[in-house]
Chain A
Amino acid sequence: MRLMANESAYDFETRLRQHQLELQPQTVETLQINMGRLCNQTCLHCHVSAGPDRAGEQMSRDTVDSCLAILARYPEIVKLDITGGAPELNEHFRHVVESAAGLGRHVMVRHNLTVTLDPHPVTGESMDWLPAFFAENKLEVVSSLPYWSSYFTDRQRGSGTFDRSIESIRLLNERGYGIEHSGLVLDLVYNPAGAFLPLGQEQLKKDFERELMQNYGLSFNRLYTITNMPINRFREMLERRDAFEEYMEKLVGAFNPCAAGGVMCRNLVSVGWDGRLYDCDFNQMKGLRIDIGGPVHVGNFDLKKVLDRRIVFGEHCFGCTAGAGSSCTGEIS
């Protein structure tokens, strides 16, 4: 009975109705593909629960080619957003990047910085080719850095991660990333190191700019602030501390109808490593498949059906609508 009461309290669709909000798909501007759950890091907050032990869940060449076929067929899908795990560890990473860039798409990679410095967790191959490869293909690099000093970063992402992240940003800066007028964009992503909501993006950006420049001589372009989603590893952490309900109440209490209108699921489609389609990466991790009447795979993608769909919402959606809102490109409102 208690669980049912909670489900009702965290009912996202009821909250939308209270605000007379109907969140229907607007476009599919971005195809976001999750290339797999293999990662060199094992972060406390990871909604994918990615890590070095998840080598079995990698996007195949056939699925990659189906994603590329979608881009070729639908020029209105202007961005390819590549995520993981650490997507660079997928053996087809170079192929998907070069092919999408060849199709004229804007390509973004969710890059955890240290993957450049660590050996491939399965093959042992050096990944030091990444900064040059990113630059050659003019990828937009979007990198997590939870704070401008080591405490929060190492606590969330593992001991020594901050120092190695700094080293990796230096390699990117040397290639022109984050340098004014270079045309190479380096975005950093802040997410709270615990069960609290992030500060406003603009204010935090000033702090990151000042601290990274003063202390390390580093620069970047944009800072995105992202709210921790109460799913998978972060949810497990909350539950171990008996703090899940408190965190959900915080998210629900900070519901922002302006942010709700800009949630990312209205303008993107997420593809799982196995080719299944979802409204967003978070629904993907919860196994909530896209709802367009029957099982849908990247191989039979139909843009019209996708645009006509009803977006699947859950309690985790309060994470995207809390405060200034949160999306894969940071604040919403």
Chain B
Amino acid sequence: MMNYFESDDLKKFPAIGKFRGELARKFFEYYGKVMDEDGALTRREKALIALAVAHAQKCPYCIDAYTEACLSNGADPEQMSEAVHVAATMMAGITLVHNVQMLNKLDKLGV
């Protein structure tokens, strides 16, 4: 049965360069430069950030890819789980901080 997200489709990521390939090349070059090298952050730290973002953005491809990338870069499941909790608290905080907007509006409406 066909699904919208097929895990094998991740391998087709380079196909995004089928049209306007020079733009895709620039993206992959940038991506590789950021993710595949140690810089001010280690590759492990970057992989943990990426795993957290993948969860926040609910990207199954990225969750598969960065679960493995975290392991390959020496992270353990406790660190990975904590990264996901960071994403979860940020998402909750982002939701809740918008409550200020509601309170402002309530105030304006005299409620």
Contacts and interface: CB of A to CB of B under 8 A. Distances in A.
Contact of A198 (B68, B72, B77, B78): B72
A67 to B, nearest CB: 37
Nearest to B70: A196
A196 B38 CA distance: 20
Which of B42, B44, B71 neighbours the largest number of chain A CB atoms within 10 Å of its CB? B71
Interface residues of A, number: 14
B38 to A, nearest CB: 8
Nearest to A204: B74
A199 B72 CA distance: 5
A76 B91 CA distance: 64
B78 A151 contact: yes
A207 B74 CA distance: 9
A210 B41 CA distance: 18
A203 interface: yes
B71 A196 contact: yes
B71 A147 contact: no
A194 interface: yes
Interface string B57-100: 00000000000100111101110000000000000000000000
Contact of A196 (B42, B72, B76, B78): B72
Interface string B10-27: 000000000000000000
Nearest to B69: A196
A194 B71 contact: yes
Contacts of B42: 203
Interface in A71-94: none
> Chain B interface residue count: which class?
10 to 19
A152 B76 contact: yes
Contacts of A218: none
Contacts of B73: 199
Contacts of A151: 76-78
A49 interface: no
Which of B38, B44, B74, B78 neighbours the largest number of chain A CB atoms within 10 Å of its CB? B74
Contacts of B44: 199
A197 B72 contact: yes
A132 B72 CA distance: 36
A192 B76 contact: no
A196 B68 contact: yes
Contacts of B38: 203
Interface string A184-214: 0000000011101111000110010000000
A203 B73 CA distance: 9
A193 B68 CA distance: 12
B10 to A, nearest CB: 12
Which of B44, B72, B77, B78 neighbours the largest number of chain A CB atoms within 10 Å of its CB? B72
Given A149-B78, A193-B71, 7 more contacts: A192-B72, A194-B71, A196-B72, A197-B72, A198-B72, A199-B73, A207-B74
23 contacts: A147-B76, A149-B76, A149-B78, A151-B76, A151-B77, A151-B78, A152-B76, A192-B71, A192-B72, A193-B71, A194-B71, A196-B68, A196-B71, A196-B72, A197-B72, A198-B72, A199-B44, A199-B72, A199-B73, A203-B42, A203-B74, A204-B74, A207-B74
Interface of A: 147, 149, 151-152, 192-194, 196-199, 203-204, 207
- A-B pairs, 8 with minimum CB distance: A199-B74, A196-B71, A196-B72, A196-B68, A197-B72, A199-B73, A204-B74, A151-B76
